[in-house]
Structure 1
């Protein structure tokens, strides 16, 4: 699995999940519960993960949706 995005922004993560789901790209959001529990101190961000073999497709999808600035290097 490859980390695409790391953020505490629930709306952003939800939008990315919808894009990935619509494109048929399997994904997982890790640390969702911990991010919510820790509150607003931003210590534990959610991470959007995709399988290694679909990283290029997922990155292109997010770039095309003007979300490329959120991508992890």
Structure 2
């Protein structure tokens, strides 16, 4: 597994997971339970991991999601 992104932006996490699954890439989100334990202060970031074989395609999906977000801002 390889880390794709580390963030505490729940909207980004949810949308990115959705987009990755549309591309047949199964993400693994880590540290979600730790974020709950710390009281949802946003201090601990969650990590989205993907299989090393899927990393390059996943990086392309992430770049596309970031571009979409920037256009909407």
Larger radius of gyration: 2
Query: Structure 1 residue runs of 4+, over 4 Å off?
Result: none
- RMSD value, Cα: 1.4
Which residue in the other structure is 2:24 paired with? 24
Q: Which runs of 5+ in 2 are unaligned?
A: 68-73
Aligned position for 1:64: 64
TM-score by length of 1: 0.80
Q: Distance in 1 between matches of 2:42 and 2:24?
A: 33
Structure 1 residue runs without a partner (length 5+): 68-73
The aligned residue for residue 34 of structure 2 is 34
TM-score (norm 2): 0.80
Counterparts of 2:16 and 2:47 in 1: how far apart (Å)?
11
